[in-house]
């Protein structure tokens, strides 16, 4: 408690003194070189959006970023570093569209600004690769423990001890409950989905390099996840499931004009669609909330050191709170996605005789 | 707008990467873990059931032992009782036999005494008769010595007596 208080006091002192330095520096500089106003849109969208390079930080106006490979399939495969495209430069007939163009921030043909077939390793793809590798290493290390040890006589330790309770919880409380007797077939997919989302959520909270990519808050990623769930539901749905969609137990006039079947078919797509939007919106909103809170520090510089210091202090306190909340959300969204996927799969495997109970 | 329009490149990589992750984890990761956990929980359940069974059999054994002890105790009691009864019987028999023997001995002794007494009486009787004969002889010899006939008679008697003695 005492240590906590002194940490907060030190933080407050540090933050309160920061604007003083800033101002002293400002006074020394030439007139009119007032710190440029923070472009909130660019600031936030730059952080949550995708990019062709992995921007780490900017020191004295110099961008420090990791260049990533651009891959374009357009009359042959073009592979080049994103460094070549920095500051609007064109390379091999491609450039990054500037502000106000149709495909702003995307790789376009230098000639007419149209999009080629672009499968570049962007920041999110790179993040996905890192996180996936991490996930594979973690899970295989856990599996290795079971291969190497007599798990009937030893309690799991290390990585197995960490992951086993989570795996057991997800499998027993979520998958087995929601999917029903055929859960064994779907459990690897659902567990993979859970851990995949969880690790990407957690890495997204991490502010520096291996983390910090807004992966699960990107709609393409959640769309792919939803697509996999859609396939898992519809490829393995049983006869009863299809009958319920195409010829449900409703009065005949609702089926003669195929009103109910149409609604049910729309339902087939809205279920994964809701999964896509839920995960995307939750994670993106969390990132925006955190970024906005931190932006308070920079936005209030103009209001003088006292206001800036006190508001920065509040912003950091709220930021800590939000970060902890994001940890919860990271787990919760992975859990919810897995649970709803399990429920949808379970609905496709109902048997009429169990339904009546 | 780019926020809510999925980028094709990212979608392509995402499907590829997730597919690969899913393939690897579904083949080498999760089934190993879930199977192991399942096996262990089965093993624990089995162990619990066996422990329950073992406890039941121990309980059974204890009950059996107690029953056996009880039986042994009652058997012992019975044997002790039997032994004491036998002892009583043997003692009784011995006493009876001893009494009978004693009675027999007493009877024998009595008979002997009676015989002895008879014998003594006989002796006394013969002594007395011999004495009386001697006395009578003396008396008779005083009176009859003078006459020859009487001498002859005496002679004869003496002879008879000798004859009798010889026989």
At A252-277, the pLDDT tens digits run 877 777 888 888 899 999 999 999 99
Q: Does B25 touch chain A (CB under 8 A)?
A: yes
Q: What is the mean pLDDT of residues A203-208?
A: 88
A34 vs B42, more confident: B42
- Nearest chain B residue to A45 by CA distance is B3
Residue A254 · residue A260 · CB < 8 Å: yes
Minimal CA separation from B16 to chain A, in Å = 10
Helix or strand holding residue A74 (H, E): none
Nearest CA-CA partner of B16 in A129, A51, A202: A129
Q: How many CB pairs under 8 A join A and B?
A: 127
- Cβ-defined contact of A219 to B13 (cutoff 8 Å): no
Q: What is the pLDDT of residues A50-71, one digit of tens each?
A: 888 888 888 887 888 888 888 8
Residues in chain B closer than 8 A to A99 (CB atoms): none
Chain A CB contacts of B9 under 8 Å are: 118-120, 122, 125
> A-chain residues within 8 Å CB-CB of B36?
146, 151
CA–CA dist A280, A286 (Å, integer): 10
Q: Which of A13-27, B2-16, B138-152 is predicted least confidently?
A: A13-27
Best to test chain B binding among A152, A154, A198, A222 (most B CBs inside 10 Å): A152
* Pairing outcome for strands A117-118 and A69-73: antiparallel
Rounded to whole angstroms, how far apart are CA atoms A196 and A129? 11
| pLDDT given at position A8 | 66
Please give the pLDDT value at position B152.
80
CA distance B78 to chain A (A): 54
What pLDDT does B19 receive?
94
Could A284 and B28 be called an inter-chain contact, meaning their C-beta atoms sit closer than 8 Å?
no
Statement: residue B135 has pLDDT above 90: no
pLDDT at A83 over 90: no
Q: Please give the C-alpha separations between residue A184 and each of A170, A318, B24, B28, in angstroms, as whole numbers.
A: 13, 43, 17, 15
Q: Say if residue B96's pLDDT is above 50.
A: yes
Cβ-in-10-Å burial (0-12, 13-18, 19+) of A225 comes to: buried
CB-nearest partner of B33 from A48, A142, A220:
A142
Over range B78-84, report the average pLDDT. Answer: 94
Which of B29, B32, B39 would you mutate first to test chain A, the one with the most A CBs within 10 A? B29
Instruction: For B5-51, write each residue's pLDDT tens digit.
Output: 888 888 999 999 999 999 999 999 999 999 998 898 999 999 999 99
User: What value of ipTM does the predicted structure carry?
Assistant: 0.85
With CB atoms and an 8 Å threshold, state whether B6 touches A104: no
Mutation target vs B (from A103, A153, A191; most B CBs, 10 A cutoff): A191
CB contact under 8 A, A106 and B2: yes
Domain extents in chain B: 29-166
pLDDT, mean of residues A202-214: 86
Chain A nearest CA to B27, separation (Å): 9
- What pLDDT does residue B158 have? 81
Q: What are phi and psi of A257, to 5 degrees?
A: -85, 115
Residue A33: predicted pLDDT: 41
């Amino acid at each position: 408690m005492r240590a906590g208080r002194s940490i907060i006091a030190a933080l407050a002192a540090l933050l309160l003194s920061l604007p003083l330095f800033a101002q002293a520096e400002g006074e020394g500089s030439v007139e009119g070189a007032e710190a440029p106003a923070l472009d909130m849109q660019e600031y936030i969208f730059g952080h949550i959006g995708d990019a062709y390079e992995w921007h780490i930080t900017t020191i004295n106006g110099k961008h420090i970023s990791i260049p990533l490979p651009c891959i374009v399939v357009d009359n042959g495969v073009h592979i080049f570093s994103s460094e070549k495209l920095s500051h609007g430069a064109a390379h091999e007939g491609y450039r990054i569209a500037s502000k106000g163009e149709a495909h702003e921030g995307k790789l376009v043909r230098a000639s007419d600004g149209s999009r080629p077939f672009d499968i570049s390793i962007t920041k999110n793809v790179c993040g996905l690769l890192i996180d996936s590798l991490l996930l594979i290493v973690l899970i295989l290390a856990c599996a290795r423990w079971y291969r190497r040890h007599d798990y009937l006589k030893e309690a799991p330790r290390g990585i197995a001890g960490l992951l086993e309770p989570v795996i057991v919880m997800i499998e027993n409380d979520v998958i087995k409950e929601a999917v029903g007797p055929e859960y064994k077939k779907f459990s690897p997919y659902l567990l993979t989905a859970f851990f995949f989302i969880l690790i990407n959520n957690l890495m997204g909270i991490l502010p520096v390099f291996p983390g910090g990519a807004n992966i699960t808050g990107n709609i393409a990623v959640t769309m792919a996840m939803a697509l996999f769930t859609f396939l898992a539901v519809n490829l393995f749905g049983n006869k009863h499931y299809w009958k319920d969609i195409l010829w449900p137990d409703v009065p005949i006039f609702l089926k003669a004009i195929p009103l109910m079947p149409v609604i049910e078919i729309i339902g087939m797509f809205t279920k994964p669609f809701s999964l896509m939007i839920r995960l995307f919106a939750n994670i993106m909103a969390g990132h925006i909330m955190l970024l906005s809170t931190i932006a308070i520090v920079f936005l209030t510089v103009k209001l003088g050191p006292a206001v800036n210091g006190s508001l920065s202090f509040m912003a950091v306190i709220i930021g800590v709170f939000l970060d902890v909340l994001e940890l919860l959300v990271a787990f919760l969204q992975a859990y919810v996605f897995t649970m709803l996927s399990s429920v949808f799969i379970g609905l496709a495997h109902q048997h009429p005789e169990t339904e009546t109970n | 707008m780019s926020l809510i329009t999925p980028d094709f490149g990212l979608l392509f990589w995402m499907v590829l990467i997730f597919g690969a992750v899913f393939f690897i984890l579904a083949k080498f990761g999760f089934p190993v873990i879930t199977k192991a956990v399942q096996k262990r929980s089965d093993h624990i359940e089995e162990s619990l059931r066996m422990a329950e069974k073992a406890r039941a059999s121990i309980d059974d054994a204890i009950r059996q032992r107690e029953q056996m002890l009880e039986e042994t105790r009652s058997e012992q009691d019975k044997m002790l009782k039997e032994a004491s009864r036998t002892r009583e019987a043997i003692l009784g028999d011995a006493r009876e036999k001893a009494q009978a023997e004693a009675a027999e001995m007493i009877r024998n002794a009595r008979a002997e005494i009676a015989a002895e007494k008879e014998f003594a009486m006989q002796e006394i009787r013969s002594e007395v008769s011999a004495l009386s004969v001697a006395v009578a002889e003396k008396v008779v010899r005083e009176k009859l010595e003078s006459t020859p006939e009487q001498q002859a008679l005496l002679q004869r008697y003496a002879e008879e007596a000798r004859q009798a003695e010889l026989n």
